[in-house]
Amino acid sequence: MVEVNKSDGQPEAGMALIIPNSNGNKKDEVSLPDLSRRMQEFATARNWDQFHSPRNLLLALVGEVGELSEIFQWRGEVPKGLPGWSAGDKEHLGEELSDVLLYLVRLSDICGIDLGQAALRKIRKNGIKYPVEKCKVSSNKYTAYQ
Amino acid sequence: MVEVNKSDGQPEAGMALIIPNSNGNKKDEVSLPDLSRRMQEFATARNWDQFHSPRNLLLALVGEVGELSEIFQWRGEVPKGLPGWSAGDKEHLGEELSDVLLYLVRLSDICGIDLGQAALRKIRKNGIKYPVEKCKVSSNKYTAYQ
Amino acid sequence: MVEVNKSDGQPEAGMALIIPNSNGNKKDEVSLPDLSRRMQEFATARNWDQFHSPRNLLLALVGEVGELSEIFQWRGEVPKGLPGWSAGDKEHLGEELSDVLLYLVRLSDICGIDLGQAALRKIRKNGIKYPVEKCKVSSNKYTAYQ
Amino acid sequence: MVEVNKSDGQPEAGMALIIPNSNGNKKDEVSLPDLSRRMQEFATARNWDQFHSPRNLLLALVGEVGELSEIFQWRGEVPKGLPGWSAGDKEHLGEELSDVLLYLVRLSDICGIDLGQAALRKIRKNGIKYPVEKCKVSSNKYTAYQ
């Protein structure tokens, strides 16, 4: 278990994650296995493991993707960085993005998939599928690549 | 940047992530900021930043959720751990879970949302919304809580 | 405009659809073009045409699919006909199915696609793709066909 | 069963739908019950009823919504009527819209929901929820209504 230190000086079990990096500095980076453990503890403490079957979790994920979409549905095109969005809108967005992530992490865990390692493999595979040189010169034909 | 070491003794830039934890041991835990950086580098190297608007990425995410659903669609109920699934089926599942994750990470980044910190806040908020004692005694009425 | 007759004897503009079929009998069958016209009238009456761009409607559709999924998410496998569901549950389900349909109809209309004719063409195409004889003998390998 | 007449003078069982309307004219309007019957016949002919459980069909629907989203994902904002789209792009779009519709119709049928009647009820309910006068004067605050 990693060391936990809160900026208010109060240790709080499992809610903040501070990892010393290779230079010995503290780094505040949330890991996928950490989220997985928290979700497991959360479910076990509430007797919810019984409900966390793969297809139940998948449908819950789809439900959260729907809520995420609702945030963007009537806005027309939205620029990067969300200029003009209120702090409340951004907080709401952060919550819906998180809900998708948390069910995705839980679904992976229940299926026995190491999501973080799978993601690294997928990035590597994508790198081979979309070679830099070929993509760069054809960036106006992006759709042909994805 | 974290130190990278591959088990085959060959350093490979940016594809494996080994973080020394607070006890000084190496830990192989993939972090969300690391995935975010990799996705940024991937897009920049290919001139793809121009395509990564919030709603483009959201629709790409929905597309990947569709592919994830297709894996489960004709199977009826699927038990935890996916007994009876072939190695190929599981690898395919890992790839689709990863595709959802990678677009989610990228969407969050483009929106200026720190996904990892948002997820920690959401777990905390859920903990208040669903108190352990109340949920435990009513675990047969889960739907009433979510 | 089709003739409208309500069973309570009160004509109500545009809310029931009774079409005499080829035998001269009244038939109460809702058509896709009729739903399309109703959605157009609904939007125009409220000055909502300005919001009904293709991608806005698509994201609204995804939102409704999410709500539909939420109905099924914690139930485990659900048998045909929904035995044990309350009348309220079924009404709620009918509303969410309808929301998906109505946005789908509207999206098709805004894109200039005749959804009903496209659906007939797709059924015909599927019939060629999945020949009856080949599917029937291999019905235990359905996943191989879809 | 309705009378079927093809414009090329060749009767083709069940693939075109021409309904005489109340004025005695032929009308080419595809109805939801007709699609429901075609889907039932399609499944029965192939021994596929065994696979058409509510949650299987729901996940298949989500898969098709994903394919629909992929068509729009890298295009940025798309104007009404899809100017500049090729005939092939539009045909592909029609097919994906149809796939969503056909699974929606089938899911409704398997759940025992009359989708067409439910949609009419939902339009009526929406009309009460969003009164014309209130919406018209506030059309710049649409998000407040939906």
pLDDT 10s digits, D114-131? 999 999 999 999 999 999
Number of C-alpha atoms within 13 angstroms, CB side, residue C63?
A: 19
Contacting partners of chain A (3+ CB pairs under 8 A): B, C, D
Q: Please check the confidence at residue A48 and state whether its pLDDT lies above 50.
A: yes
Q: Which of C53, C55, C80, C139 to mutate against chain B (most B CBs within 10 Å)?
A: C55
Dihedral sign for Cα A96, A102, A105, A107, please: negative
pLDDT 10s digits, C10-28? 333 333 344 444 433 336 7
Contacts of C89 (CB under 8 A, 6+ apart): C71, C82
Residues of D in contact with A58 (CB under 8 A): 59
Q: Do B76 and C77 touch (CB under 8 A)?
A: yes
Residue with structure tokens 């453990």? A37
pLDDT score at C136? 77
Residue ranges in C13-131 assigned as alpha helix (H): 32-45, 54-72, 87-111, 115-129
Structure tokens at D43: 């499944």
Q: Do B3 and A22 touch (CB under 8 A)?
A: yes
Q: Please check the confidence at residue D144 and state whether its pLDDT lies above 90.
A: no
Q: Do A108 and B97 touch (CB under 8 A)?
A: yes
Contacts of D1 (CB under 8 A, 6+ apart): none
ipTM of the complex: 0.81
Q: What is the pTM of this model?
A: 0.83
Structure tokens at A100: 């998708």
The mean pLDDT value of chain C amounts to 83
| Pick from D136, D113, D137, D117: nearest CA to D125 | D117
Q: Give the pairing type, strands C19-20 and C26-27.
A: antiparallel
| Pick from B70, D100, A55, B107: nearest CA to C62 | D100
Q: What architecture does CATH give domain C50-115?
A: Orthogonal Bundle (1.10)
Structure tokens at A146: 């994805």
Amino acid at C116: G
Residues of C in contact with D71 (CB under 8 A): none
pLDDT 10s digits, D36-53? 999 999 999 999 999 999
| pLDDT less than 50: residues of chain B | 1-26, 141, 144-146
pLDDT score at D138? 63
Structure tokens at C52: 């009904």
Q: A15: exposed, middle or buried (C-beta count within 10 Å: 0-12, 13-18, 19+)?
A: middle
The better pLDDT of the pair C124, D25 is held by: C124
Q: Please check the confidence at residue D91 and state whether its pLDDT lies above 70.
A: yes
Which residues are A27's β-sheet partners?
A19
Residue with structure tokens 């959201």? B58
Residue C57 CA to residue C22 CA, distance in Å, equals 36
Buried b (16+ CB within 10 A) or exposed e, C55-90: bbbbbbbbbbbbbbbbbbbbbeebeeebeebeeeeb
Q: Do B73 and D65 touch (CB under 8 A)?
A: no
Domain ranges across chain C: 50-115
Q: Please check the confidence at residue D21 and state whether its pLDDT lies above 60.
A: no
Residue A39 CA to residue A33 CA, distance in Å, equals 10
Q: How many CB atoms lie within 10 A of CB D127?
A: 17
Contact between B75 and D58 under an 8 Å Cβ cutoff? The reply is no
Q: How many contacts (CB atoms, under 8 Å) link A and B?
A: 247
Residue C81 CA to residue C83 CA, distance in Å, equals 6
**Which class would CATH give A48-76+83-144?**
mainly alpha
Would you identify the CATH topology of the domain B50-144?
Answer: Helix Hairpins (1.10.287)
Number of C-alpha atoms within 13 angstroms, CB side, residue B9?
A: 0
Contacts of A75 (CB under 8 A, 6+ apart): B55, C56, D143
pLDDT score at C145? 46
Residues of D in contact with C2 (CB under 8 A): 21-22
Cα–Cα distance list, A57 to B98, B123, B124, C90, D142 (Å): 16, 16, 20, 22, 33
Q: How many CB atoms lie within 10 A of CB C4?
A: 14
Q: Please check the confidence at residue D18 and state whether its pLDDT lies above 50.
A: no
Q: Please check the confidence at residue A14 and state whether its pLDDT lies above 60.
A: no
pLDDT 10s digits, B44-69? 999 999 999 999 999 999 999 999 99
pLDDT score at B3? 37
Across residues A70-98, what is the average pLDDT? 97
The dotted CATH code for D32-116 is 1.10.287.1080
Backbone angles phi, psi at C74, to 5 degrees: -105, 15
